[in-house]
Amino acid sequence: MSTNTITTQKVNFKVFRFNADEDYLPYYENYTMDITSEEVVLDVLNRIKWDHDGSFSYRRSCRHGICGACAIKVNGRSTLACKESMTTMIEYFGNDITLEPLSTKRAIKDMIIDKADFWEKHAAVTPYLVADIDECPSCENLVSPHDAEELNEADLCIQCGACHYACPVVEINSDFFGPAAFAAAYRFEADVRDNDTQRLINVNEEKQGVWDCAKCFECAEVCPKDINPIEKITKLHQMAFKKGVAKNNVATRHAVGFLHSIKKHGMLDEGGLVLYSEGPSIIKHIPVALQMFKKGKIIMPWNMPKSDNLDEIQKLIKSSSTVKF
Amino acid sequence: MKQLKYALFTGCTAKQSTPEQMMSTLAVARKLNIELIELTEASCCGASHLQDYDDFLSLVLNARNIAYAEKHGLTMVTICNTCQLNTAMTKHRLDKNIELKAKVNEKLAEVGLEYKGTSNVIHFLYAIIDDFGLDKIKEMVVRPLSQFNIAPFYGCHNIRPSELHDESHKQKENPYNPTSLDDLIIACGGKNVEYEEKNKCCGFHVELQAPHTAAVLTGNAIAGATDNNADMMVTPCPLCHLKLDTQTKHASEAIGRDVSLPVLHMQQMVGLALGCTPAELGLKHHVTEVNFI
């Protein structure tokens, strides 16, 4: 028998309500409920529907963190409702809790959103194994434990959309595939049996691909399955260089430019990096650069500081580099 | 109290585009009697971009930086969120993976160095708050910032991934409701501004490859602070500072609204409250003028 005592506290809920068929604008309904330390967010959704308003709508199915249907936003944070305990939410946000769909812009009814953009992006990265596998093999197609580990648990994704709708870049750039699609792409790129040649090129294209990731780590923070999508995004960047599909563009030069700069100065040469990355397009940065120059924010190349013991850094770059571009 | 002493990893911007950040760090350290030994041998941390290109090399270079802090037997302090992320992430990965650590040390041995894992890596913001103490700072304030509403802008890489933050620092920070910078504002006598963007991304890392995305993120942050009546913003990250301070024109164009607020480095705010002069804090080095002093 558990020795934990169950505690109860009053929580004020502000709940997003909207019916695309009837409402001109969304509105918020308030409910105050006694919440026990044993309840998860999904219990609250159920109680709103069962005790307060039968028309309240949300997606739910497995109740065990595996179907990915019930993800919503709690105080702006993407949350898988059946997994997250209310105690944790109260710890995070106090006793005033706002429940909203993953994307208010895409709301159809209350917590239910049109997830078409998510599925389109998912489908666009060829999220399946592409391989010439004999349908009637004489023995099993074994994958060694070492090779299976390479997936880094990317195969645990339940497509709940928590990271996708937490990603600030998805919100601004509608072409961007988003963290969940990248994690799916990585899952198959890392599979030794896969021999698709287009996927990695596809997820490295400008605008839609991994290079537009802003490195904010929101996806890693919200993932209910601890998949760490940004780690997969980083690995897709590295794979592009390793497999020779990285194009010569501003994004890749920006990454490679760090190496050149560190080799020369130990430190980053900020101006040099922008020039290396942009090439002739550096012209567009001149107005801001002039403003910065006036305020003493730009160092002339001949005054560029260097790290002490630069020879050590150069020696290590020589011996430890694993990639060529 | 025993004098606090740290190994300072300045990062690259402090020596180039944000000289005021270096000046104010040293000024605040003097006021608080904190001794900082600058790691002049340190290289760039790779800023998460070298990491996109060559993961192993970035581990070796960051391990080398930490090894120098270890040689001094000191905790390393960073003054840039992205330096903090990449350095602490290297430490996290090497401390967890003995094989990887051995591979990295094999390379470091070529230059007579070894990464042991004996030095912690913390951001100066948390050195001030956790080690020096907010109460003591409060007692030392000679010029309370009481007439100002100050919007804290935390910067992603100090608060996410939260696991890394909590592993590196004494106090936990809630990535959805961070409080350290708010507490510091209050300790300096200012009024902290609550706004939605305080823990959001400034867009710095995609400025070259996705300028529109970057500009919208910057614009949203300044607009959020402005709409909640902020007189200024404050940030512990020089990269966020560069975006918020120098990119207001692009940000305004991107969100279709003129936005501009003075932005202080965390160290400048503390320095002002402790009675440092504007010259000591390098306030003339801002593109968006700090004209209220």
DSSP codes of every residue in A151-188: TTTGGG-----TTGGG-HHHHH-TT---HHHHHHHHHH
Report CA A70 to chain centroid distance, whole Å. 18
Instruction: Give the model confidence (pLDDT) of B95-119 as tens digits.
Output: 999 999 999 999 999 999 999 999 9
Residue B265 reports pLDDT greater than 90: yes
A30 in helix, strand or coil?
strand
Q: How confident is the model at residue A183 (pLDDT cuts 50, 70, 90)?
A: very high
Give the chain B residue whose CA is nearest to the CA of A236. Answer: B52
In B98-141, where does DSSP find H-type helix?
Answer: 98-109, 124-126, 134-140
Chains A, B: CB contacts under 8 A, how many?
197
Residue B150: enclosing H or E segment and its boundaries?
A: strand B149-152
Tens digit of each residue's pLDDT (9 = 90 or more) over A262-307: 999 999 999 999 999 999 999 999 999 999 999 999 999 999 999 9
* 8 Å CB contact of B210 and A92: no
Q: Which stretch of A134-143, A192-201, A210-219, B258-267 has the lowest confidence by average pLDDT?
A: A134-143
Using the predicted structure, report yes or no on whether residue B134 has a pLDDT greater than 80: yes
Yes or no: say if A257 and A277 are a contact pair by the CB < 8 Å rule: yes
Distance from CA of B259 to the nearest CA of A (A): 16
Cα A72 to Cα A11, A76, A99, A101, B201, distances in angstroms: 18, 9, 7, 5, 21
Which residues in chain B have Cβ-Cβ distances shorter than 8 Å to A206?
A: 209
Task: Report the C-alpha gap between B259 and B249 in whole angstroms.
Answer: 8
* pLDDT higher than threshold 60 for residue A2: no
What backbone phi and psi angles, to 5 degrees, belong to A283? -50, -40
Mutate to test the interface with A, among B10, B43, B179 (most CBs of A within 10 A): B43
State the nearest Cα–Cα gap between A293 and chain B, in angstroms: 9
pLDDT in tens, B30-45: 999 999 999 999 999 9
Are A215 and B208 within 8 A, CB to CB? no
ipTM of the complex: 0.96
A61-88: pLDDT as tens digits? 999 999 999 999 999 999 999 999 999 9
Given pLDDT bands bounded at 50, 70 and 90, which one contains residue B292? Answer: confident
Q: pLDDT class for A3, splitting at 50, 70, 90? A: low
Q: Which residue of A has its CA nearest to B159?
A: A217
Residues of A in contact with B61 (CB under 8 A): 262, 313, 316-317
Q: Which residue ranges form the domains of chain B, and what is each CATH number? A: 5-122 (1.20.1050.140), 134-285 (3.40.50.11810)
pLDDT of residue A146: 95
Interface test with B, best of A92, A93, A217, A238 (most B CBs within 10 A): A217
Does residue B220 register a pLDDT over 70? yes
Weakest-pLDDT range from A132-146, A259-273, B111-125, B270-284: A132-146
Instruction: Report the pLDDT averaged over residues B229-250.
Output: 98
Domains and CATH numbers, chain A: 8-113 (3.10.20.30), 116-131+143-242 (1.10.1060.10), 266-320 (no CATH)
- Determine the pLDDT at residue B273: 98
How near does any CA of chain A get to the CA of B188, in Å? 25
Cβ contact A297–B212 (<8 Å): no
Cβ-based contacts of B17 with chain A (< 8 Å): 270, 292, 297-298
Q: In what order do the strands lie in the sheet with A27-36?
A: A27-36, A8-17, A96-100, A71-74, A77-80
Distance CA B58, CA B60 (A): 5
